[in-house]
Amino acid sequence: MSRDATRDPRLATRKTRMPPPAILDPATLDFSNLLADREAIQRVLPHRHEFALLDGVIMCDRERGLFAGYHDIREDAWWARGHVPGRPLFPGVLMIEAAAQLASFLAHYVWGGQHFVGLTGIDDTKYRGTVVPPCRLVLVGRALEIRSRRIRCAIQGFVGSTMVFESVITGMPV
Protein backbone atom coordinates (compact mmCIF):
# COMPACT_ATOMS: atom_id res chain seq x y z
CA MET A 1 0.00 0.00 0.00
CA SER A 2 1.42 3.42 -0.90
CA ARG A 3 1.48 6.27 1.56
CA ASP A 4 -0.33 9.46 0.65
CA ALA A 5 -1.20 12.72 2.36
CA THR A 6 -4.59 11.43 3.51
CA ARG A 7 -2.94 8.61 5.45
CA ASP A 8 0.28 10.26 6.57
CA PRO A 9 -0.01 13.85 7.83
CA ARG A 10 3.78 14.34 7.44
CA LEU A 11 3.33 14.12 3.66
CA ALA A 12 0.63 16.78 3.66
CA THR A 13 3.13 19.40 4.85
CA ARG A 14 6.01 18.24 2.65
CA LYS A 15 6.70 20.69 -0.16
CA THR A 16 8.74 20.19 -3.27
CA ARG A 17 11.74 22.44 -2.89
CA MET A 18 12.59 24.30 -6.05
CA PRO A 19 16.21 25.20 -6.70
CA PRO A 20 17.28 28.48 -5.17
CA PRO A 21 18.20 31.39 -7.42
CA ALA A 22 21.61 31.03 -9.02
CA ILE A 23 24.39 32.75 -7.11
CA LEU A 24 25.82 33.64 -10.53
CA ASP A 25 24.24 32.77 -13.87
CA PRO A 26 26.75 30.49 -15.63
CA ALA A 27 25.67 31.95 -18.99
CA THR A 28 27.14 35.31 -17.94
CA LEU A 29 30.63 33.94 -17.23
CA ASP A 30 33.52 34.59 -19.62
CA PHE A 31 35.37 31.27 -20.01
CA SER A 32 37.85 32.81 -22.45
CA ASN A 33 39.38 35.05 -19.78
CA LEU A 34 40.56 32.80 -16.92
CA LEU A 35 41.83 34.08 -13.61
CA ALA A 36 43.70 30.76 -13.21
CA ASP A 37 44.22 27.82 -15.54
CA ARG A 38 45.14 24.33 -14.33
CA GLU A 39 48.86 25.22 -14.07
CA ALA A 40 48.13 28.30 -11.95
CA ILE A 41 45.70 26.32 -9.78
CA GLN A 42 48.43 23.73 -9.11
CA ARG A 43 50.70 26.50 -7.82
CA VAL A 44 48.04 27.13 -5.14
CA LEU A 45 46.43 23.75 -4.43
CA PRO A 46 48.32 20.52 -3.64
CA HIS A 47 45.83 18.22 -5.41
CA ARG A 48 47.34 16.20 -8.23
CA HIS A 49 46.50 13.47 -10.70
CA GLU A 50 42.96 12.09 -10.30
CA PHE A 51 42.16 14.48 -7.47
CA ALA A 52 42.92 17.71 -9.33
CA LEU A 53 39.23 18.46 -9.85
CA LEU A 54 39.47 22.15 -10.68
CA ASP A 55 40.41 22.90 -14.29
CA GLY A 56 39.89 26.65 -14.32
CA VAL A 57 38.98 29.58 -12.10
CA ILE A 58 36.95 32.14 -13.99
CA MET A 59 36.62 34.86 -11.38
CA CYS A 60 37.07 35.82 -7.72
CA ASP A 61 35.44 39.05 -6.67
CA ARG A 62 36.77 39.80 -3.17
CA GLU A 63 34.47 42.75 -2.54
CA ARG A 64 31.24 40.90 -3.35
CA GLY A 65 32.55 37.50 -2.18
CA LEU A 66 31.63 35.87 -5.50
CA PHE A 67 33.69 33.30 -7.37
CA ALA A 68 33.40 30.74 -10.18
CA GLY A 69 35.36 27.88 -11.67
CA TYR A 70 34.87 24.63 -13.55
CA HIS A 71 35.85 21.00 -13.96
CA ASP A 72 35.69 19.30 -17.35
CA ILE A 73 34.13 15.86 -16.97
CA ARG A 74 35.81 13.38 -19.31
CA GLU A 75 34.51 10.03 -20.55
CA ASP A 76 37.83 8.36 -19.72
CA ALA A 77 38.02 9.64 -16.12
CA TRP A 78 39.22 7.12 -13.53
CA TRP A 79 35.77 6.74 -11.89
CA ALA A 80 33.75 6.40 -15.15
CA ARG A 81 34.37 2.68 -15.66
CA GLY A 82 32.99 1.66 -12.27
CA HIS A 83 30.47 4.33 -11.24
CA VAL A 84 27.39 2.88 -12.90
CA PRO A 85 28.89 0.71 -15.66
CA GLY A 86 27.33 1.46 -19.04
CA ARG A 87 25.98 4.80 -17.79
CA PRO A 88 28.76 6.68 -16.02
CA LEU A 89 27.65 9.32 -13.53
CA PHE A 90 30.06 11.79 -11.94
CA PRO A 91 29.95 10.92 -8.22
CA GLY A 92 28.34 13.42 -5.88
CA VAL A 93 31.26 13.23 -3.47
CA LEU A 94 33.55 14.38 -6.29
CA MET A 95 31.21 17.31 -6.98
CA ILE A 96 31.69 18.30 -3.34
CA GLU A 97 35.46 17.82 -3.61
CA ALA A 98 35.59 20.08 -6.68
CA ALA A 99 33.56 22.69 -4.78
CA ALA A 100 35.90 22.40 -1.78
CA GLN A 101 38.91 22.92 -4.05
CA LEU A 102 37.32 26.07 -5.45
CA ALA A 103 36.63 27.32 -1.91
CA SER A 104 40.25 26.55 -0.98
CA PHE A 105 41.44 28.52 -4.00
CA LEU A 106 39.23 31.44 -2.92
CA ALA A 107 40.69 31.32 0.59
CA HIS A 108 44.20 31.45 -0.85
CA TYR A 109 43.17 34.37 -3.06
CA VAL A 110 41.69 36.28 -0.10
CA TRP A 111 44.28 35.37 2.57
CA GLY A 112 47.32 35.57 0.35
CA GLY A 113 48.38 31.94 0.42
CA GLN A 114 49.49 31.51 4.01
CA HIS A 115 48.18 27.95 4.41
CA PHE A 116 46.40 25.17 2.58
CA VAL A 117 42.69 25.24 3.42
CA GLY A 118 41.22 21.79 4.01
CA LEU A 119 37.59 20.69 3.93
CA THR A 120 36.09 20.54 7.42
CA GLY A 121 32.36 20.40 6.74
CA ILE A 122 29.52 20.22 4.27
CA ASP A 123 25.97 21.32 5.02
CA ASP A 124 22.64 21.65 3.27
CA THR A 125 23.73 19.56 0.29
CA LYS A 126 21.13 18.78 -2.34
CA TYR A 127 21.73 16.88 -5.57
CA ARG A 128 19.37 18.08 -8.27
CA GLY A 129 20.58 16.34 -11.41
CA THR A 130 23.07 13.93 -12.87
CA VAL A 131 26.43 14.80 -14.39
CA VAL A 132 27.13 12.59 -17.39
CA PRO A 133 30.41 12.81 -19.31
CA PRO A 134 31.46 14.54 -21.42
CA CYS A 135 30.41 17.90 -20.01
CA ARG A 136 31.60 20.88 -18.04
CA LEU A 137 30.62 21.22 -14.38
CA VAL A 138 30.51 24.94 -13.64
CA LEU A 139 30.86 25.91 -9.98
CA VAL A 140 29.64 29.26 -8.70
CA GLY A 141 29.86 30.44 -5.14
CA ARG A 142 29.44 33.14 -2.55
CA ALA A 143 31.58 33.53 0.55
CA LEU A 144 29.31 33.45 3.59
CA GLU A 145 32.03 33.90 6.18
CA ILE A 146 35.75 34.52 5.97
CA ARG A 147 37.69 34.54 9.22
CA SER A 148 41.32 33.88 10.02
CA ARG A 149 40.57 30.25 10.95
CA ARG A 150 37.51 29.43 8.85
CA ILE A 151 35.85 29.99 5.52
CA ARG A 152 32.23 29.09 4.68
CA CYS A 153 30.91 29.27 1.13
CA ALA A 154 27.61 28.54 -0.57
CA ILE A 155 28.42 26.74 -3.83
CA GLN A 156 26.21 25.60 -6.68
CA GLY A 157 27.11 23.32 -9.56
CA PHE A 158 25.67 23.61 -13.07
CA VAL A 159 25.78 21.62 -16.27
CA GLY A 160 24.62 24.04 -18.92
CA SER A 161 21.81 25.99 -17.30
CA THR A 162 20.74 23.13 -15.01
CA MET A 163 21.67 23.28 -11.33
CA VAL A 164 22.91 19.80 -10.42
CA PHE A 165 23.89 20.39 -6.79
CA GLU A 166 24.10 22.98 -4.04
CA SER A 167 26.02 22.89 -0.79
CA VAL A 168 27.63 24.94 1.94
CA ILE A 169 31.34 24.16 2.23
CA THR A 170 33.40 24.91 5.33
CA GLY A 171 37.19 24.85 5.41
CA MET A 172 40.05 25.87 7.65
CA PRO A 173 43.80 26.29 7.32
CA VAL A 174 45.60 23.01 7.96
The set of catalytic residues is 83
Minimal CA–CA distance to 65: which of 143, 132, 137? 143
Could you write out the DSSP letters of every residue in the chain? ----TTT-HHHHH--PPPPPPPSS-GGG--TTS-SEEHHHHHHH----GGG----EEEEEETTTTEEEEEEEEPTT-TTTTTSSTTS----HHHHHHHHHHHHHHHHHHHHTSSSPEEEEEEEEEEE-S---SSEEEEEEEEEEEEETTEEEEEEEEEETTEEEEEEEEEEEE-
